[in-house]
Each structure stands twice: as C-alpha cells, then as structure tokens.
Amino acid sequence: MGRSAAQKILAAHLVEGSMTSGSEISIRIDQTLTQDSTGTMAYLQFEAIGLPRVKTRLSVSYVDHNTLQSGFENADDHKYLQTVAAKYGVRFSRPGNGICHQVHMERFGVPGQTLLGSDSHTPTCGGLGMLAIGAGGLDVAVAMGGGPCFLSMPKIHRVVLEGRLRPWVSAKDVILEVLRRLSVKGGVGRIVEYAGPGVASLSVPERATITNMGAELGATTSIFPSDATTRAFLAAQGREGDFVAVEADADAVYDEETVIDLDALVPLAARPHSPDNVSGVGSIGPVRVDQVCIGSCTNSSYLDMMKVAAVLKGKTVHPEVSLTISPGSRQVLAMLSSNGALADLVAAGARILESACGPCIGMGQSPRTDAVSLRTFNRNFEGRSGTASAQVYLVSPETAAASALAGVLTDPRTLGAAPVVAPVPHFAVNDNLVVDPAADPDSVAIVRGPNIKPFPRNKALPPALSGKALIRLGDNITTDHIMPSNSKLLPYRSNVPYLAGFCLTPCDPDFPKRARENGGGFIVGGSNYGQGSSREHAALAPLELGIRGVLVLSFARIHMANLINNGILPLTFADPADYAALDPMDELAVDDAPGQVRAAAQGRDVTVRNVTKGTAMRMCLPISARQADILLAGGLLNYTRGEG
C-alpha cells in the first residue's frame, strides 16, 4: 500500500512510534521558526534547558508582530531576540524584513523537510511541500535543542481539487469553502493533503494561502505536493537547488476525502465572528464597509498585491472607506516599488503599512465603533481587531479591492475582466536584513530589558489537587479570549506576571482577581477550547494564576499540548451532563492525582469530585506514558531537565 505525501515525510523523519492514526509518534525537526510575540518566551525556555547551541539544520527568529514601538518594551525584546539568536546559532530576521511565514516560504522553506514554528500559521510552508507544524514555544525550544517533536499520528484527509478557478475567484475562496464544509473543528487530529488535477493550476503563493488557513480548521497541518510549479517558484527565488519532488503514491490510502470543483466556486466571505461562518459574497448583499485591510501572512504575496494594484489603478477608494495595505515581505514591497504598482496603490488612496502582521493581530488600525471591516486575514474572532463592537469579514484580495472602491461588500465579478498577473521569472532577492549568528558565541552578551521577567515554572504534581471552578465558559473559546492579543498587551509577552492580570478578561473581567483571591483553581469550558493561536501564554497566564486543571468538552490540539507542557491537567468530560450540571465556584478535587495520571496513560478515566454537590465526574485524559511523566514532573521543562 502506497503512502501520501505527508506520510512519506513523516516516515522519513520518524524517530519512534507507529504511524497508526491516534498513536503517539515523534519526528525529527529540520527547521524551526519563532516570531517576537512568542519568541522571547521560547528563547528564555531554550536558555533554561542549558544547551550551548541549536541543533537544527536551520532556525530563524523573526520580528513581525510587536513592531509598534510606543514604549521601550518591544524594542527591548527585539534586542534580546537579536543577541540571543547571535549567541545560540539562530538567524535573525530584522524588523521590516517581513512576516515570518511569507519570508520563510520565499527564502528558507525546503520541500520534504519538517518545520516546527511557535505560531499556529506555520503550515503556510505546506504550500511548498513542507511538513510545517505550529506548536507552543517550549516545544520549539526543545526542537531547537535537538529533541524530537511528539504528536498523535493524524488521520490524512485528502482534498481533491478538480477543474480550475474562474476569473475573480481565488485561493482564499478555496479555503473558505473548505472551512464552510468542515468547520473550525473539522481538521482536528488530521493532516489535510491537497491533490487532484486542480492543484497544477495553483501557484505556490495560492497554495500557501490555503495551507495557512488550515490552522482555522484545527488541522495538525496542511500540505500540497512539491511539483514543477514548486520548482519554478524556488528557481525564481534563486533556490532551485532546494527543490525536492514530493508527491503521493498512486495507490495511497486516505482516511477521509473531500472533493471540490474549482469551476463551481464563487467569491466567498466569512461573516462575523468565525472563519467557518461562510457565505457567497453575492448572497450576503451590499453591506456598507468602513474599513478594508489587505495583507497578513494569508494574502500578502507579490501575486496578491499585484492583483489589488491592478484593480485599484486609475481609481479612487470610496470616501467612506479606510484602505490599508501590508505587503508580506520587504521583497514584495521592493518589487511593488520598482514596477510602479506601489504608486498605483498610493494614488488610489491606500495607506501603506509596514511589512508586518499589523492589523491582523490587533497591532494598529482598530476600526471605529460598530464598524464593518473587510480583511484578507485568517481570523475574525470577536474583538481581535481591537474594537469589541466591530464586525469583521474575511474575504479575498479581489473582493477586498472591489469593495474598497464601491464602499459596500462587492462581488468582484461585477468589475469586468479580471487582472492577470504573469509569473515572476526572478524575484528581487536581498537578504541583508537577515543577520547570521555570531562566529564566536562567547563574544556575545545577551541584552535583557527590564520588561523581561522570569516565566512561571510549575512543580511536581502534588498528591491531590483541589480548588474552585473559577469560571464556566461556552464553546469555541479562543486563545484570544484566554490571553488577549492587542497593541496594549503584546509588548508584555515577556512579562507573564503582568499579562496574567488580563487572563480571560474578555469573558469575565473579574477572573484574574477571583483566581488570585482563591489561590487558583480550575477552568471549565465547552467544546474546541483553546482554538486559534499557538501562543503558550494562554497556558502560562493560567499557571501564573494557580490554575491546576482545565475541564472542557474538547480541546484544540496546540492548546492541550501547551497545558501539558506547563503541568496543567487538560481534562475532558466523559459525560456532557456533568459539564451542564457544574456551576461556577463549585469546589472540585482530584484525589491521588499522580496515581490517576499514571492510570490515564493506560486508558483509564480520571475521577474529579464535585465536593459542593457531593458527586463524582468521569473525566478523560488521553495521554501517552511520556505525557504522563511530563505532568508528573510539573511540565516539559522540568521533564527535559530531569527535574520535578
């Protein structure tokens, strides 16, 4: 029996385990990436491991999130990241060089290799045929130290693309259609592998748009084959020597399959406040638009920008619309500048922002109260824009440009002939903002600003856990809810004691105060708890507040891993009725916690007593023996260091 493309890469990198769906495996990691929002913590943790040098083929530290310097905090963190990278053998992509996923795809991604990144959209490089996985910073720190990446062997969900996209329909519409069909939970425990005759018609940037938003499916990763299109892209980047063909065997067997006819797709939009709340642009109607933001790691490639410039050329943005453009990399910005497209964008009234994440993570450009904002981004969670009352729609660059001109949500097919962007034979390559590590690490002094505080460390699991159910939440709680991400809080990513004061405040402003007054306790939630970003701060902040366990109906993959990595019990209700019957401030207890964790690794349930109601709840803790040892040690760092 043949193997899929993803299975081939997994098999070539397998360290231990059996590639049977659901079983724990570990794989060797070739490359890592971090960004400044998660990177400071990842490198603090790498330092705590105590190794003198990274052991990967390539590790790159990017600055692309916290680029607004309204105080010393961000600039201090950037200096720490540059000096720690120089000392430990990591390349450093300076502020202004671009968004990590766009730059990594352009300059560093290699088909057939593995990439582990401390950002949930690391699967962007799956568009190149990489096995690229998002993870928490501590997992990335361990990988930089030469440790394997552990994961539950995913199912392989094959998405067959047939036909060819019609004019004005784009790759963004493809992934929105996948989200419409499968939902934000549909990729959990799966690798989404794209195949079929329609693949050949998609460029590498278009493929990367699709794999990028596989994160919104909850998928472990998404991947396209590496083929002649991939080779041409790498050749245009001056990297044809990195090309390796990666394709599925003809007799590969898949766990699930979805077929999408590209010819049948129309321009789509994800309505507020979820990426899977998808409808046709035409069926939604001419919603008045206040703001349009084009960019992010999803749609900021040269191809995307050129299409937008062609739509806007010779026209003027509607007077009621604020239009912002964020080119994904300095390479893209330089090419737009040299060929005149940047002038067309500026003449039309676009506001040109830095080549960085910017508005996508709430770092500037928050819309006005009750505004409608169209964004080519990957997430439209409530409040993520920085304005709680804003209504954010996710759309393609073509739909965004058409709507910016009309002032209302507009189907771009009404504009006539679609722009055609010719393939680029040679990209403008200039890596002078990528700093190589120091030749003499001992000569480097790591600079730590006053905003960098020690991160919380758990202790070995005690004989028993007890505490109150401090909060009871519903479904689809995101990491933005757990640890808000905005321009006011992002500068404090290296200061967990300060950040903890905002934990879960979008759901309950009094949660941090209540947690501290009660000496910690438990969090209770619904299904898909922790969806969204890979940020481990959504586990570190609860740890700082004394959270001992999280009891939910189901978890998002990365967040569950981050809880385990920090020694917090991630428990799921065996009987949903227990979730319904549990009230806030009920006193909970886990007796013989170490013994129950060991038993959970053997497939047994964990019993949590509701002391207040005098009942017992059966909880699932689907962990491996290794994960049990991590929990017993009080987290992955203690386990890695042999402590706990």
Catalytic residues: 64-65, 119, 379, 533, 535
Q: Compute the C-alpha angle 3/5/6, nearest 5°.
A: 95
Question: Which of 310, 301, 297, 294 is closest to 342 using CA atoms?
Answer: 310
Helices and strands counted in the chain (H then E): 22, 27
Cα–Cα distance measured from residue 152 to residue 191, given in angstroms and rounded to the nearest whole number: 11
- Which token pair is 174? 């493809």
**Sign for the pseudo-dihedral over CA of 46, 50, 51, 53:** positive
Question: Which of 579, 484, 588, 566 is closest to 524 using CA atoms?
Answer: 579
If you count them, how many residues does the chain have?
644
Contact 153, 20 (CB under 8 A): yes
In terms of Cβ atoms closer than 10 Å to its own Cβ (0-12, 13-18, 19+), residue 350 is: buried
- DSSP string across 250-268: TTB--SEEEEEEGGG---E
Contact 540, 496 (CB under 8 A): yes
- Which token pair is 30? 């070739």
Tally the C-alpha atoms within 13 A of residue 291's C-alpha that lie toward its C-beta. Answer: 24
Question: Which of 563, 590, 593 is closest to 462 using CA atoms?
Answer: 593
Cα–Cα distance measured from residue 6 to residue 29, given in angstroms and rounded to the nearest whole number: 14
Question: Which of 123, 124, 179 is closest to 154 using CA atoms?
Answer: 123
Task: Report the greatest alpha carbon distance in the chain.
Answer: 72
- DSSP string across 504-526: TTTT-TTHHHHHHHTT-EEEE--
Question: Which of 556, 167, 128, 190 is closest to 178 using CA atoms?
Answer: 190
- Which token pair is 410? 């507009």
Tally the C-alpha atoms within 13 A of residue 460's C-alpha that lie toward its C-beta. Answer: 8
Cα–Cα distance measured from residue 32 to residue 57, given in angstroms and rounded to the nearest whole number: 9
Distances from the Cα of 20 to the Cα of 153, 442, 608, angstroms? 6, 45, 31
